[in-house]
Structure 1
Amino acid sequence: MNIRSRQLGERLLQRMAEKGWGVREMSRKLEVSAQWVSSVTRGHVRPDPVRLARFLTELGVRGAEFRELMALGDEMRKPGLLEKPLQLRTLIWHEERAAAIAQFHGCAVPGLLQTADYARSLISEIGNATEPDHIDELVFARMSRQVILDKQPPVEFEFFLHEFVLRLPIGRGAPEVMRGQLGHLARLAGRNHVSIRVVPASCGGHPAMAGHFQLIESKNFAPVIYIDSEISALFLEETADVVAYRRVLAGLDRIALDPAESKRFIADL
């Protein structure tokens, strides 16, 4: 089971839920076994193109979505996934099932740790949106992801933030935005399952200079590396890729301030 198979299965389940159909109802409509439908929607079986096309047609999937899901089925055995345009649903699916998340960011506070004011200022300043309603939608989506911070059993979080992240004055001259964000980070750092580590600028070059990334681990699937850009998202899952990013995290662990030092550093700012 890889990212493509999980995504295809999840999309099929979403469409089935919209119709109010369960596995047994779907199996009757397709005249196949319930076990086969269950295996496809759980990402355990690669459906042949004819059966998948019939599955999608029965669900009323048409046009671009039909072509997208057929391509997912065709490429199901390929590891990794490039999503273009950028979408959050695949990331959210993995975060909701995570047991541990490790992340590095060198430019901005990660979305899972942002306050609404910081998120709104950041989105406005980097030009992701200009219409107030669109900005509100993006902020709401970002805040909604943060429910996993309170998930039970708790997800183990480790965030590495470069000092530059904490000093960059987001908020266009409104110091209360950064003051509120730094206070929020200090409070989150007090949680037992959240570790926030500062990578001081005095370290100079560091192992994560290639850019930000997120390692998502779960009991349900193999580790996944998530990297996003302005217009696309990349999910990596091959063993060599995961090993490379674990090496980066180990390097950051050696040079970053420990959690207690990091909390004091944030409080001083």
Structure 2
Amino acid sequence: MAEYRGPNIRGRQLGERLLQRMSEKNWGVREMSRKLDMSAQWVSAVTRGLTRPEPVRMARFLTTLGFDGAEYRELMGLADEIRKPGLLESYPGGWQVQTLAWHEERAAEIAAFQGLILPGLLQTADYARSLMVETGNAPSPDGIDERVFARMARQLVLTRRPRIEFQFFIHEFALRLPVGRQDRSVMRGQLAHLLRVSAQPNVSIRVVPARIGGHPAVSGHFKLIESTEFEPVVYIEHEISSLFLEAPDEIAVYRQVVAKLGDVALDAARSEAFIAGLAE
């Protein structure tokens, strides 16, 4: 395995959480340095994920900022394993996309594959809402509204500037799955939305047809995020956790999968015609 170049995702996560709490208290690096009686250079390095802080110093940093309980233990764990590539986030009682959204907003290119449902960045509000209800994963009505709003808000990255280049590979099964089965307008509106989004110059939507049988991404969905600000990251979502991969050999595998998907998927024009046919 090639040596990893930092800061890695654990360092970025730790730094972002510290900076967020410092911002809430209106403390800059110099003020934090004064409170800890540490150099400003050290505080800056920790908040940028560039160093592995000693446990005693990290504990002092966290307690000064008011972290305690599970959150304190989580951040101490991040600091202890800051040089370890990759990150598994678990949320058995909740739902979160903060880490994913942070990386999406700073991406230069994103390539994604979905085999059973449509990518979250391409979902309409009606589709997202119906999906939550039909899968039995819906929280309270207010919780559904919160999740749908968060998903729609994330879609702003599709039109942000400077533009991010998006490449979506969607299996035919996902396009044919009748989400909102009690209301056909849900899928009609969703397919029409795909056609509108595909017209954007920075968005490519390509269909992986069922007739090819096995395909390079048969193991499951993923998102490959490339950036000029951090090393590439692969995101894989599960029901109660999210996995971020970043080791160079792992990234190489998924880059190869994306390249092979490009060989077997319909081109953009034929994909648009295919989606339009389903919409009719």
Q: TM-score, normalised to structure 1's length?
A: 0.98
1:49 and 2:55 are equivalent in the alignment: yes
Which residue of structure 1 aligns with residue 26 of structure 2? 20
Shift of 1:130: 4.1
Decide whether the 8 Å contact of 1:87 with 1:233 is kept in 2. no
Among 205, 223, 228, the residue aligned to 1:196: 205
Output the TM-score relative to the length of structure 2: 0.94
Verify the 8 A CA contact 1:197 1:262 in the aligned structure 2.
Answer: yes
Which residue of 2 is the match for residue 63 of structure 1?
69
Q: Deviations over 1:168-225 (max 9, x none)?
A: 1000221100000000000010011000000011111101010000000100111000
Structure 2 Cα separation of the partners of residues 193 and 210 of structure 1: 27
Amino acid at match of 2:45: S
* Cα deviation 1:227-264 (Å, max 9, x = unaligned): 01101110000111111111111111001000111111
Shift of 1:15: 0.7
CA distances 1:84-125 after superposition (whole Å, capped 9, x unpaired)? 126311111111110100000001111000000000000111
The corresponding residue for 1:208 is: 217
Worse overlay, 209-218 or 42-51: 42-51
Query: Does 2:78 match 1:72?
Result: yes
Letter of the structure 2 residue corresponding to residue 106 of structure 1: G
Aligned with 2:258: secondary structure? helix
Secondary structure of the 1:21 match is coil
- How many residues are aligned here? 269
Aligned to 1:260: 269
- The residue aligned with 2:258 is 249
> Once the 2 structures are TM-superposed, how far is the Cα of residue 18 of structure 1 from its aligned partner?
1.1
Distance 1:26 1:143 in 2: 36
**Aligned-partner Cα distance in 2 for 1:124–1:36:** 48
The gaps in structure 2 that reach 5 residues or longer are 1-6
| 1:235 aligned residue | 244
RMSD over aligned CA atoms reads 0.9
For 1:122-201, list aligned pairs within 5 A.
Answer: 122-201=131-210
CA-to-aligned-CA distance 1:29-86 (integer Å, 9 cap, x gap) = 1111212111111111111111111110110001000000000000111110111126
Distance 1:93 1:53 in 2: 25
Provide the secondary structure at the position in 2 that maps to 1:205.
Answer: coil
1:38 corresponding residue in structure 2: 44
Query: Which whole-Å CA distance do the structure 1 matches of 2:209 and 2:44 have between them?
Result: 49
Identity among equivalent pairs (%):
66
CA distance in 1, matches of 2:268, 2:211: 17
